[in-house]
Amino acid sequence: MNNYEDSYRDFLAYAARHEMTVLHDDGLYRHIQFGARGSVGWFELVTWPGYLAITGDFYSFTFARISDMFEFFSASGMERINPGYWAEKLVARGTDIEAVSAEKFTTEVVRYFWERREDWIGENAALFHEIREDVLSHAGHGSERFALDDFRYWFDDGTPFTFEDSWEWDLNDWSIHYLRACHAIVWGINKYRAAAVEITGAAA
């Protein structure tokens, strides 16, 4: 799974039916709404000199960097996001920007088991069945760390299998809420600029 690509497809599923409403547009002071307030996936972009805020169904994030933040978010390319660099410019957030990655979690759990599989020949199938039922089933549900800490499997000789030092594992990636917000910003700016070009062309 590619987290960026999946989050983009996920965002587009919400945004496909959004109409843009320009509530205010005065130089660097902008207030643009996408979708009806309260609808699934709706969001607003608000800018003022040096700042851009996104709010709505993707939680709220506020960034600060240059006078025109539309220019800042356009620097990565028309359809690209740069969540790592942009996170450094966050000055306020409505939720965490990182979360446990289901992909990383599954990879680490399977790796840990695979590297030790020869230690318990004859009991591997039963052990992995328990891991699949009691640990891997938590992937993507926010309870991954608890599942690792709580897991115990007792072998016939009375020794336990546990996920030792799993607290050291790097399981985090950007949260789906943060990635959706990043995609929404780029997508919204592009929509706004495309509409401005149409208006200019029609006026000419």
Instruction: Output the pLDDT for position 197.
Output: 77
The mean pLDDT of the chain is 89
Residue 146 CA to residue 167 CA, distance in Å, equals 10
Is 32 in the same domain as 90? yes
Q: Spell out the residues 6+ positions from residue 73 whose beta carbon is closer than 8 angstroms to its own.
A: 52, 86, 185, 186, 189
- For range 127-138, the mean pLDDT: 95
Whole-number Cα distances in Å, 178 to 37, 45, 58, 117, 194: 19, 15, 7, 37, 24
Is 24 in the same domain as 79? yes
- For range 47-70, the mean pLDDT: 96
Is 81 in the same domain as 154? no
Is 13 in the same domain as 90? yes
Banded pLDDT at 79 (limits 50, 70, 90): low
- Residue 60 pLDDT exceeds 70: yes
pLDDT tens column, 140-175? 888 999 999 999 999 888 889 999 989 999 999 999
72: containing domain: 3-97+175-203
Q: What angle do CA 54, 103, 144 make, to 5 degrees?
A: 85
pLDDT tens column, 80-128? 899 999 999 999 999 999 999 889 999 999 999 999 888 777 888 899 9
Is 123 in the same domain as 25? no
DSSP helix/strand/coil, 158 = coil
Q: What is the DSSP letter of 39?
A: S
Q: What is the DSSP letter of 19?
A: P
Is 143 in the same domain as 52? no
- Residue 1 pLDDT exceeds 50: no
Instruction: Output the pLDDT for position 77.
Output: 54
Is 9 in the same domain as 90? yes
Is 36 in the same domain as 92? yes
Share of the chain above pLDDT 90, in %: 64
Whole-number Cα distances in Å, 3 to 6, 10, 45, 86: 5, 10, 24, 17
Segment (H or E) for 159: none
- Residue with token string 């002071």: 29
- Residue 181 pLDDT exceeds 60: yes
* Of 8-17, 42-51, 145-154, minimum mean pLDDT range: 8-17
Whole-number Cα distances in Å, 64 to 67, 69, 123: 9, 8, 55
- Specify the number of domains making up the chain: 2
Is 90 in the same domain as 186? yes
Is 162 in the same domain as 116? yes
Is 93 in the same domain as 179? yes
Instruction: Output the pLDDT for position 184.
Output: 94
Residue 77 CA to residue 135 CA, distance in Å, equals 40
List, as one string, the DSSP characters of 133-150.
Answer: HHTGGGTTTT-HHHHHHH
Is 18 in the same domain as 74? yes
